[in-house]
């Protein structure tokens, strides 16, 4: 198989949550345990930091990676989903895994993995662990969905992090913050320090009780005065505080100078994209991958800080969201360009438009993200603001 054949195999023949939704979610981690046994347990051959949470996991992971890279460590970084290139998910010091490494891994393990019916996500986790084994000083590992039953949850990290708890994937994780927190708390390991990014009254006791049962030292994120030139959204302050709090717990050598350099060089060091990313100056055009109520709320607060004449909102979603909760908080005075990304989970733009009208949001529907974006650019004056978001997959198609 060449690289294209390999990706087609991974994407088309194996369940992939980002594309297929609930049908791809597995309610146990037996497969990844068996796969890692086949691979001689690569997850035991590198140190790690494990990150779960509703929002901010990816940003926090990239922040920590950048700071540790500036200190001179060799750092693995596993995040999901990707935006443009599958290999974004697996990096060492910001360098994506090579196409040949992906090809060779799949070719070598295909027959054995087919016997245990590996999912797309299990395949990529196994690939990442294998890539990091004996090649990094530490790897920053982001959970894919939840925590307790996530394939990444076989690692025994140096420190665990739960960024925050919000309503997302409620069909899989539960319909209350307490139920969702229980699933996220599943990454808390025996005697392993756990850092909680956001203190929330609904979830605090769940984390405290779990930590006590596991004998895990628990701490809640502290406030620091660090800023970053790399990540523009004001909501990143919480992620910065969480990352620094975890690094203080980790107790690895990290100088003040390299914390500052790491924060300023996140994009250069890790290749992060799609977080309050500016695409144009006139009209000011911004995209952001925030895709649930908490993430969209942060985006709206950020938009409110900008001076503009008119807001043009290119918006799409997936079909398994509690969309009314999101539509209810979107600006009523914006012009909307409803669209759907080219994936099976995308909510049809005509359906989205009708649902949005119930919340007095008005605009036109488009069959592609590209056409929606072009229409916004055509309509916008140079003093206007164009925002693109609602779904990671919408953002991916404009980058």
Tell me what pLDDT residue 251 has. 83
Q: Which of 270, 294, 309 is the last residue of a domain?
A: 270
155 shares a domain with 39: yes
pLDDT digits (tens, 9 = 90+) for 289-312: 999 999 999 999 999 999 999 999
129 shares a domain with 96: yes
* Three state DSSP letters for the chain: CCHHHHHHHHHHHCCCHHHHHHHHCCCCCHHHHHHHHHCCCHHHCCEEEEEECCCCHHHHHHHHHHHHHHCCCCEEEECCCCCCCHHHHEEECCEECCHHHHHHHHHHHHHHHHHCCCCHHHHHHHHHHHHHCCCCCEEEEECCCCCCCCHHHHCCCCEEEECCCCCCCHHHHCCCHHHHHHHHHHHCCCCCCEEECCCCCCCHHHHHHHHHHHCCCEEECCCCCCCCCCCCCCCHHHHHHHHHHHHHHHCCCCCHHHHHHHHHCHHHHHCCCCCCEEEECCCEEEECCCCCHHHHHHHHHHHCCCCCCCEEEEECCECCCCHHHHHCCCCCCCEEEECCCCCCCECCHHHHHHHHHCCCCCEEECCCHHHHHHHHHHHCCCCCEEEEECCHHHHHCCC
Output the tens digit of pLDDT for each of the chain's 399 residues: 999 999 999 987 555 544 444 444 445 677 899 999 999 999 999 999 999 999 999 999 999 999 999 999 999 999 999 999 999 999 999 999 999 999 999 999 999 999 998 888 999 999 999 999 999 999 999 998 778 889 999 999 999 999 999 876 555 576 789 999 999 999 999 999 999 999 999 999 999 999 999 999 999 999 999 999 889 889 999 999 999 999 999 989 999 999 999 999 999 999 999 999 999 999 999 999 999 999 999 999 999 999 999 999 999 999 888 899 999 999 999 999 999 999 988 999 999 999 999 999 999 999 999 999 999 999 999 999 999 999 999 999 999
Q: What is the CATH number of the domain that holds 112?
A: 3.40.1190.10
214 shares a domain with 298: no
Tell me what pLDDT residue 11 has. 84
217 shares a domain with 184: yes
- Domain limits for position 336: 277-396
Q: What is the CATH number of the domain that holds 324?
A: 3.90.190.20
pLDDT digits (tens, 9 = 90+) for 193-239: 999 999 999 999 999 999 999 999 999 999 999 999 889 889 999 99
194-196: strand order across its sheet: 95-96, 90-92, 75-78, 138-142, 47-52, 159-162, 194-196, 218-220
69 shares a domain with 210: yes
249 shares a domain with 389: no
Tell me what pLDDT residue 322 has. 82
Those residues whose C-beta lies under 8 Å from the C-beta of residue 280, and which sit 6 or more positions away, are 386
Q: Which of 241, 270, 299 is the last residue of a domain?
A: 270
389 shares a domain with 309: yes
286 shares a domain with 249: no
Tell me what pLDDT residue 22 has. 44
Q: What total number of domains does the chain contain?
A: 2
Tell me what pLDDT residue 19 has. 45
Q: What is the pTM of this model?
A: 0.93
378 shares a domain with 248: no
35 shares a domain with 157: yes
209 shares a domain with 121: yes
Integer Cα distance of 314 and 203 in angstroms: 34
Joined tokens for residue 333: 């005075």
Q: Which of 229, 253, 270 is the last residue of a domain?
A: 270
392 shares a domain with 340: yes
């Amino acid at each position: 198989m060449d690289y294209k054949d390999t990706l087609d195999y991974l994407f088309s023949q194996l369940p992939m949550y980002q594309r297929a939704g609930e049908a791809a979610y597995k309610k146990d981690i037996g497969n990844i345990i068996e796969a890692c046994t086949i691979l001689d347990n690569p997850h035991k051959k590198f140190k790690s930091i494990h990150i779960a949470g509703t929002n901010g996991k990816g940003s926090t992971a990239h922040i920590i990676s950048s700071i540790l890279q500036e200190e001179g460590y060799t750092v693995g970084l596993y995040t999901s989903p990707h935006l443009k290139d599958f290999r974004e998910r697996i990096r060492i010091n910001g360098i994506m895994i090579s196409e040949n490494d992906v090809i060779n891994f799949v070719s070598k393990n295909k027959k054995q993995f087919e016997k245990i019916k590996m999912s797309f996500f299990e395949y990529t986790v196994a690939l990442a662990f294998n890539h990091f084994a004996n090649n990094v000083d530490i790897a920053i590992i982001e959970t894919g969905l939840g925590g307790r039953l996530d394939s990444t949850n076989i690692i025994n990290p140096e420190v665990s992090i739960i960024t925050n708890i919000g309503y997302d994937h409620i069909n899989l994780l539960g319909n209350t913050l307490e139920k969702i927190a229980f699933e996220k708390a599943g990454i808390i390991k025996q005697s392993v320090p756990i850092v909680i990014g956001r203190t929330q009254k609904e979830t605090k006791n769940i984390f405290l009780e779990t930590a006590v049962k596991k004998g895990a030292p628990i701490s809640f994120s502290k406030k620091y005065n660090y800023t970053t030139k790399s990540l523009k959204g004001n909501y990143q302050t919480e992620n910065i505080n969480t990352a620094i709090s975890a690094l203080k717990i980790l107790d690895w050598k990290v100088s003040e100078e390299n914390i500052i350099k790491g924060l300023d060089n996140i994009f250069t060091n890790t290749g992060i994209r799609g977080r309050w990313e500016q695409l144009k100056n006139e009209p000011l055009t911004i995209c952001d991958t925030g895709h649930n109520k908490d993430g969209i709320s942060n985006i709206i607060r950020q938009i409110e800080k900008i001076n503009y004449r008119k807001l043009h909102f290119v918006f799409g979603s997936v079909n398994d969201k509690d969309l009314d909760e999101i539509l209810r908080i979107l600006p009523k005075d914006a012009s909307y360009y409803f669209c759907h990304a080219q994936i099976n989970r995308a909510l049809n733009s005509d359906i989205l438009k009708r649902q949005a009208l119930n919340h007095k949001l008005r605009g036109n529907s488009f069959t592609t993200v590209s056409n929606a974006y072009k229409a916004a650019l055509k309509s916008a004056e140079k003093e206007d603001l164009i925002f693109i978001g609602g779904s990671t997959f919408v953002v991916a198609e404009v980058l």
